Amino acid sequence: MTRYYLAIDIGASSGRHIVGWQEEGALRTEEVYRFKNGVTEADGHLTWDVGRLEREVRAGIDAALEKYPGLESLSIDTWGVDYVLLKEREPVLPCYAYRDSRTETAVPRVQGLLPFEELYARTGVQFQPFNTIYQLYADKLAGRLEGVTGWLMMPEYLMWRLCESAPPCGHEYTNASTTGLLNAATGEFDLEIIKRLGLPESLFGELCQPGTPLGEYKGIKVLLCPTHDTASAVEGIPMENGVEGTDQLFLSSGTWSLLGAKLPQAVTTPESRRANFSNEGGVGYIRYLKNIMGMWMANNLRAELCPGEDFPAIVRAAQESAYPGLVDVTAQRFMAPGSMSGEMSAALAESGFDAPKTCGDYFRCAYRSLAKCYGESVRELESLTGRKYATLYIVGGGAKNDFLNRLTEEETGLRVVALPIEATALGNLKCQIRAEEESQC
């Protein structure tokens, strides 16, 4: 009898409900529901409408059940770092988005209590102003933690709402590893960090591993996959099994580009810290990676300059352009600019380049700058791990961009294998299938 599973993969710009099943030794999939996602501006802050997200999740499950009434299980993955505070069973709103600027005052306060050199040595997590550690401290400064009884990362919250379990489910390891609050050596919450920041210790319990069952929704088992979307994506890439000795890298190319390797243990050296590499949890390994600007830059340019144009035409225009300018795609100025083209033009002028004249010029600059950053990051990664790599697997939306793939091959010197697949959903599904098989042993 064929068993069907549902992966709900929610990114910063869209969500997808994908049903998967095994057929003739292969994992087949069908997308049954898709919805738009995005931040909402409220009172000068960027927030997530968690109520709408929950409604879309439920609507997509109904659509899946209509076509596949015998669903075995489901799981949800999303981006990392963001969370929902709880007072008993009620969410504390608004739910802030990671691109919001509210951590500007929290970052120096945290680093005054815990210098980043020490923080990185303990956690191995790269500095990003939106890391959960800074968001939670911003909540503390604003008094938002008063009376709070729990907090859940975004996918945990949505699954808890489906199951209506009490108390709320625990934190899943791969997503918790993005918070900047886990000890890299133990893989558990670092209570020394939590004490020194004065965060309520009662909010930080034991972690749950992918495969942990949470409950049921409409007769469907709800369980944890690797709930951080990049962790699921890496599980979905057909890389060699094992960690030791592999000469392969991965690049999950979406709103963000996550470039890295599977390692048996974290790298928390001062050199790794200075290069801003991160150690995040995988399923039995460390995802050693760098968080790089991804399609966010191109998506913003398109919305601003040519909203009616499709990306194949945009890529052709970029290929036909001869514009020579490059920008530093990791610069904070590109995180949430009022005008992406304006910010790029300003950065280019500061570097002595004339302003781009056409849409193709802007996109050529974006793609070439991104590929250059990939190349620099690969060389850093090789130096930090003491390994040489031969192949780079690219998955996600960016894998469809042949021009960017060619530029990446040139800049990295690696063989690029582009897999325009729903790697995140595949990894989510593989974990569910594995959990089902193990439960029958």
Mean pLDDT for the chain?
A: 95
> Do 212 and 251 lie in a common domain?
no
pLDDT at position 170, please? 80
**β-sheet bridge partners, residue 291:** 258
The reply to whether 206 falls in a domain is yes
Which residue(s) pair with 248 in the sheet? 391
Domain presence at residue 427:
no
Q: How far is CA 337 from the centre of its chain?
A: 20
Examine residue 366 and state whether it is found in any structural domain, yes or no.
Answer: yes
Range of the domain at 303: 239-422
* pLDDT of the residue at 396: 87
Q: Which of left, alpha, beta for 413 (phi over 0: left; psi -120 to 50: alpha)? A: left
CA angle centred on 366, ends 362 and 369, rounded to 5°: 135
Are residues 407 and 297 part of one domain? yes
What distance in Å separates the CA atoms of residue 232 and residue 73, rounded to the nearest whole number? 16
Which pLDDT belongs to residue 154?
A: 98
Assess if residue 234 is contained within a domain: no
Residues 217 and 278 in one domain: no
pLDDT of residue 299: 93
Name the phi and psi angles at 50, rounded to 5.
-70, -25
Alpha-carbon span 229 to 422, nearest angstrom: 11
CATH of the domain at 157: 3.30.420.40
| Position 438 in a domain | no
Q: Are residues 103 and 192 in the same domain?
A: yes
Please tell me the predicted confidence (pLDDT) of residue 167.
65
Contact predicate 102/96, CB 8 Å: yes
Q: Of 9, 229, 247, 328, which one is the catalytic site residue? A: 229
Q: 398-439, pLDDT tens digit by residue? A: 999 999 999 999 999 999 999 978 899 999 999 999 999 998
Are residues 168 and 253 both part of a single domain?
Answer: no
Q: Do residues 187 and 282 make contact, with C-beta atoms less than 8 angstroms apart? A: no
Q: 52 is written with which tokens? A: 């709408």
Q: Supply the pLDDT for residue 441.
A: 65
Distance separating alpha carbons of residues 238 and 232, to the nearest angstrom: 12
CA-based max dimension of the chain: 65
What is residue 359's predicted lDDT score, i.e. its pLDDT? 96
Q: Measure the CA–CA gap between 136 and 155, rounded to whole angstroms.
A: 17
For the stretch 222-251, pLDDT in tens is 999 999 999 999 999 988 755 665 789 999
Asked if residues 60 and 33 have their Cβ atoms less than 8 Å apart, the reply is yes
Q: Is residue 432 part of a domain?
A: no
Domain boundary among 195, 227, 259: 227
| Whole-number pLDDT of residue 35 | 98
Measured CA to CA in angstroms, residue 243 lies from 106, 139, 211, 249, 285 at distances of 37, 38, 21, 11, 7
Does one domain contain both 112 and 28? yes
Beta bridge partners of 75: 7
- Write the pLDDT tens digit of every residue in 168-200: 778 999 999 999 999 999 999 999 999 999 999
pLDDT of residue 404: 97
Together in a domain, 191 and 43? yes
pLDDT digits (tens, 9 = 90+) for 158-169: 999 999 766 677
Closest residue by Cα to residue 75 from 181, 195, 155, 142: 155
Domain count, the chain: 2
Helix/strand/coil (H, E, C) string of the chain? Answer: CCCEEEEEEECCCEEEEEEEEEECCEEEEEEEEEEECCCEEECCEEEECHHHHHHHHHHHHHHHHHHCCCEEEEEEEECCCCEEEEECCEEECCEECCCCCCCCCHHHHHHHHCCHHHHHHHHCCCCCCCCHHHHHHHHHHCCCCCCCCEEEEHHHHHHHHHHCCCCCCCEEHHHHCCCCCECCCCCCECHHHHHHCCCCHHHCCCEECCCCEEEEECCEEEECCCCEHHHHHHHHCCCCCCCCCCCEEEEEECCEEEEEEEECCCCCCHHHHHCCCEEEECCCCEEEEEEEECHHHHHHHHHHHCCCCCHHHHHHHHHHCCCCCCCCCCCHHHCCCCCHHHHHHHHHHHCCCCCCCCHHHHHHHHHHHHHHHHHHHHHHHHHHHCCCCCEEEEECHHHHCHHHHHHHHHHHCCEEEEECCCHHHHHHHHHHHHHHHHHCC
Query: In whole angstroms, what is the distance from residue 250 CA to residue 282 CA?
Result: 13
How far, in Å, CA of 233 to CA of 431, rounded?
A: 11
pTM: 0.89
- How far is residue 194 from each of residues 180, 250, 312, measured CA to CA in Å? 11, 32, 48
Q: Are residues 120 and 249 in the same domain?
A: no
In this prediction, what percent of the chain has a pLDDT beyond 70?
98
Both 283 and 389 in one domain: the answer is: yes
Own/partner pairs, 237-242, CB within 8 angstroms, 24+ separation = 237/393, 237/395, 237/419, 237/423, 237/427, 238/393, 238/419, 239/393
> Which segments in the chain show pLDDT lower than 50?
none
Looking at the fold, whether 223 and 252 belong to one and the same domain comes out as no
At 226 the pLDDT is: 98
Provide the pLDDT for residue 242. Answer: 58
Query: How much is the pLDDT for 328?
Result: 96
Contact 301, 341 (CB under 8 A): yes
Instruction: Examine the domain organization and report whether 101 and 200 are in the same domain.
Output: yes
Final residue of a domain: which of 173, 194, 227?
227
190 is catalytic: no
* Residue 53 shares a structural domain with residue 199: yes
